[in-house]
Structure formats: structure tokens, C-alpha cells
Structure 1
Amino acid sequence: MLVLSRKTNESIMIGANVEIIVLGVEGDNVKLGIRAPKEVDIHRKEIYMAIQAENRAAATNALSIEDVSKLFKK
């Protein structure tokens, strides 16, 4: 893990097109701004983990041919 110290209004770059800016620090909270292309997905980690869990669950729930057929008939 890379650990960096930054002050308010300072930033770090990830690659050539993702910039993370420290907008403010209030107690234990750090407010960050992220500049990235629209095609880059940005999620809080807990949301990202939930998405991954849902994707795994969907991939393991196999539908029968009858179930798929019913979906097309709707």
C-alpha cells in the first residue's frame, strides 16, 4: 500500500486521467473530490462490494429453459 500525505487543495494523480483532490478535513472525516473520465466507475467500497456480491449471486442462479421461456412470453 502506498501512503501519501496531502493537505487541503492538494491532489494525487492515478495514471494520466484520474485526479483525487483533498477538499477538506473535519475531525475524522476527509472530503475528497475525484476527477475522472465518465467511463471510469467510481463507488464507495461498501457499494462496490455489494455490487460484486450481487453479480456472483446472479451468476450462480441458473434458470431452467422453462423459466427462460416464460420470460420471453411476457
Structure 2
Amino acid sequence: MGDTMKITVLSVKGRQIKIGLEVPEDVPVYREELYVKVKEQNSLALQTLENDLMAAAELWPGKK
């Protein structure tokens, strides 16, 4: 993968393949299930933030 990343097949067992990754230290690598969980939590946090902002706007003095 380009000049800075390398994928190596470590083993094959039936339908399961184990791979190794060599990436620069500054490149984060996440397993898919962790990436999906973080993405879901970020989405929930944004929804909460929007709801909090709307509730705060309702309490703002001078609102008609």
C-alpha cells in the first residue's frame, strides 16, 4: 500500500486469513469493530449536543 505501508499474509486456515500490517508510527490503525463503536458514540454525542443546544435556546431570555 504505497511506499509507507505493507500488508503481509501471516497464515491461511480455511476461510480465515491472518494479516500483518507495517505502518508509520503516526498512522492510527483500528480494528473494524472498534472503529464502528467510536463512530456510533461520536454520532450519539453530536445528537446530544444538538438537543442540549436546542434546550438552551428555549431557555434564552427574550425569546418570544
Asked whether the two chains share a fold, i.e. TM above 0.5, the reply is yes
Is 1:28 aligned to residue 10 of structure 2? no
Which residue matches 1:38? 25
TM-score relative to the length of structure 2: 0.66
RMSD: 1.7
| AA of the residue aligned to 1:42 | V
Bigger relative CO (Cα 8 Å, ≥ 6 apart): 2
2:39 match: secondary structure: helix
Which structure has more helix as a fraction of its residues? 2
Larger Rg: 2
Runs of 5+ unmatched residues, structure 2: 57-64
> How many residue pairs are counted as aligned between the two chains?
52
Aligned residues: percent identity?
A: 29
Runs of 5+ unmatched residues, structure 1: 1-13, 66-74
